[in-house]
């Protein structure tokens, strides 16, 4: 079928209904048919949103995708992605990894089971996920695997895009969702990175029992500590949505000005690239608020906010799919999806058609474990009043002060002089001469001011790789010398240094007078 080009007009006229009140403590009845429709809507929304935003993922960094820039869609699009680029659905099959553990061991499965399945899976990972995988494989188990001093990507989006299933098994139960988030989210994230998953899980949970977007967005935010950066970012989205209800781009610009400065993820420091959970969560919420319940507008606006533009519309469309149900998703988006419902997602034994009943079974178990009941085709759920999770902050007292572009290989030894209290050296093991073995592990020794501080093992294997060569945040402010020595050099390989990020106890000196 011929591909259709979709555009959106920048100025969107919206009219949200009055704020709905959530009757906390009230027991509500939801019949099985409605639950299955909402479950199907959530998984379908994620898959459609991910497919729609896939072509623009991280192609628009710190920039809006202009209303005149076409985004393609055609009937067989989802089916084609399943056969040609199934890795696009990483934010779906990551959920399924955890669902499979839960299906196998029950809803009380320990964090170690999730961590083991996640760390030993065959799929590629990046950022907080890959740093956590490396940690787990080297004996640093959760929650330490996600803690920011062990994981420079602790505030990244990883758990946020893997938490959808948590809210989808906790209808109306935001606090139960937060408990699952505590167990699973700290495998790979901490602080704002963890809050992203807590918040999304809460919105999904509320979407089962409320049909007002504003209420879902604001009530779910009560799970997040007010003094956190994440809370402030989402609160500002709500603030500027109220100020500029007819133009999402003005809201986007205010959020960009206030919240887009990256501190944690070294790849995003002093760079347009931003995989921070808070800013990408803001784009989800912009899509939800300005989309005003319209499936296309919600997904399209979340996409056009840029950065992680496949994961963000997947989350926004998934929440809306739970709220409205599969039957309410316009038929225009369904043909390709229905053609691939029985295709298993990569690295799993689960397809869309099978995940619906798995989700329902686990949801049933969660309901019964939390004081609810099931009578025939009717499910009775007591709506929980959102409770604020504990306060966490990553990279406290640290400010990026310098970024150096390094365009050389490590060699046997490299010396890096710097002034500050923390440092991250990015880099990878590169193969220069074909090696059929591919099991090579580079062994490095790191010295700070003449004292050996770490032996670093860097596998060439991409699945098991160490995401950054070296990092530390615990130095005394001042001049330091980092020495990295390659202890087992192999002529078939090289240690390719990428950029170096230095942290200080004070912000970088202001250069621009503006």
pLDDT tens track for 329-384: 999 999 988 889 999 988 889 999 999 999 999 999 999 999 999 999 999 999 99
Pairing of strands 4-6, 71-73: antiparallel
Spatial separation of the C-alpha atoms in residues 287 and 53, rounded to whole Å? 13
Buried b (16+ CB within 10 A) or exposed e, 455-465: ebebbbeeebb
Query: What is the rounded distance in angstroms from the CA atom of residue 28 to the CA atom of residue 30?
Result: 7
Question: Which segment of 350-354, 355-359, 471-475, 509-513 scores lowest on mean pLDDT?
Answer: 509-513
List the structure tokens of 57: 């993922």
Confidence check: pLDDT of 71 > 50:
yes
Percent of the chain past pLDDT 90, that is, above it, reads 89
Residue 2 binned pLDDT confidence (cut-offs 50, 70, 90):
very low
Q: Is 64 helix (H, G, I), strand (E, B) or coil?
A: coil
Give 196's pLDDT tier (boundaries 50, 70, 90). Answer: very high
What is the token pair recorded at 327? 């039957």
- Pick from 65, 92, 69: which is nearest to 347 by CA? 92
Q: What tokens does 405 get?
A: 């572009």
- The reported pTM is 0.95
The rounded distance, in Å, linking the Cα atoms of 465 and 20 is 48
**Cis link prior to 486 (omega < 30° from 0)?**
no
Closest CA to 371 of 171, 188, 235, 202: 171
The dihedral formed by the CA atoms of 341, 343, 348 and 353, expressed in degrees to the nearest 10: 30
What is the chain's mean pLDDT, rounded? Answer: 94
Dump the DSSP string for 90-102.
HHHHHHHHHHHHH
The separation between the first and the last C-alpha atoms of the chain, rounded to the nearest angstrom, is 52
Q: How confident is the model at residue 7 (pLDDT cuts 50, 70, 90)?
A: very low
Position 438 scores a pLDDT of: 85
pLDDT of residue 90: 85
Predicted local confidence at residue 437, as pLDDT: 84
Indicate the helix (H) or strand (E) that contains 135: helix 127-137
Distance CA 183, CA 204 (A): 18
Contact 389, 183 (CB under 8 A): no
Domains and CATH numbers, the chain: 4-382 (1.10.4080.10), 399-504 (2.60.120.260)
Contact 209, 23 (CB under 8 A): no
pLDDT at 295 over 60: yes
Q: What are phi and psi for residue 413, nearest 5 degrees?
A: -160, 145
Among 495, 268, 285, 251, smallest CA distance to 395 is for 268
pLDDT class for 180, splitting at 50, 70, 90? Answer: very high
Structure confidence by residue, pLDDT tens digits, 410-435 = 999 999 999 999 999 999 999 999 99
Q: Is the pLDDT of residue 17 over 50?
A: no
Q: How confident is the model at residue 86 (pLDDT cuts 50, 70, 90)?
A: confident
Q: How many C-beta atoms lie closer than 10 Å to residue 394's C-beta?
A: 25
- What whole-number distance in Å separates Cα of residue 425 and Cα of residue 441? 18
């Amino acid at each position: 079928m011929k591909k259709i080009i979709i555009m959106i007009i920048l100025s969107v006229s919206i009219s949200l209904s009055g704020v709905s009140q959530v009757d906390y403590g009230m027991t509500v009845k939801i019949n099985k048919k409605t639950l299955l429709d909402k479950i199907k809507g959530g998984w379908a929304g994620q898959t459609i949103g991910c497919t729609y935003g896939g072509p623009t993922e991280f192609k628009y960094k710190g920039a809006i995708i202009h209303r005149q820039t076409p985004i393609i869609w055609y009937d067989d699009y989802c089916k084609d992605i399943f056969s040609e680029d199934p890795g696009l659905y990483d934010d779906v099959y990551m959920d399924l990894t955890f669902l499979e553990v839960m299906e196998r061991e029950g809803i009380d499965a320990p964090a170690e089971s999730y961590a083991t399945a996640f760390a030993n899976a065959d799929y590629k990972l990046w950022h907080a996920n890959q740093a956590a995988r490396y940690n787990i494989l080297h004996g640093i188990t959760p929650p330490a695997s996600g803690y920011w001093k062990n994981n420079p990507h602790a505030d990244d989006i990883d758990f946020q895009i893997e938490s959808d299933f948590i809210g989808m098994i906790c209808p109306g139960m935001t606090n139960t969702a937060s408990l699952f988030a505590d167990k699973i989210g700290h495998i790979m994230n901490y602080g704002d990175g963890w809050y992203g998953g807590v918040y999304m899980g809460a919105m999904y949970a509320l979407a089962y029992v409320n049909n007002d977007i504003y209420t879902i967005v604001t009530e779910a935010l009560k799970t997040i500590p007010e003094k956190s950066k994440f809370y402030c970012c989402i609160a500002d989205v709500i603030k500027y949505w109220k100020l500029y209800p007819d133009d999402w781009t003005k809201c986007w610009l205010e959020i960009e000005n206030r919240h887009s400065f990256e501190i944690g993820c070294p790849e995003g420091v002093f760079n347009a690239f931003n995989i921070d959970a808070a800013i990408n969560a803001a784009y989800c919420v912009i899509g939800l608020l300005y989309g005003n319940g319209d499936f296309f507008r919600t997904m399209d606006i979340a996409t056009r906010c840029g950065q992680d533009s496949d994961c963000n519309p997947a989350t926004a469309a998934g929440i809306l799919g739970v709220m409205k149900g599969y039957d309410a998703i316009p038929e225009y988006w369904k043909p390709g999806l229905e053609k691939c419902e029985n295709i298993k997602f990569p690295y799993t034994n689960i397809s869309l058609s099978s995940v619906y009943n798995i989700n329902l079974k686990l949801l049933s178990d969660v309901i019964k474990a939390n004081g609810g009941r099931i009578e025939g085709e009717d499910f009775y759920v007591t709506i929980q009043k959102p409770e604020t999770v504990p306060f966490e902050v990553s990279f406290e007292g640290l400010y990026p002060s310098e970024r150096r572009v390094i365009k050389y290989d490590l060699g046997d030894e490299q010396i890096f002089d710097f002034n500050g209290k923390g440092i991250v050296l990015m880099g990878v093991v590169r193969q220069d001469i074909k090696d059929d073995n591919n099991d090579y592990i580079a062994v490095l020794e790191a010295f700070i001011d003449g004292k050996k501080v770490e032996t670093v093992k860097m596998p060439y294997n991409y699945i098991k790789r160490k995401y950054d060569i070296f990092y530390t945040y615990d130095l005394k402010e001042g001049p330091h010398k980092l020495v990295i020595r390659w202890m087992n050099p192999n002529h078939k390989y090289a240690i390719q240094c990428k950029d170096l990020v230095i942290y200080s106890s004070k912000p970088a000196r202001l250069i621009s007078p503006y």
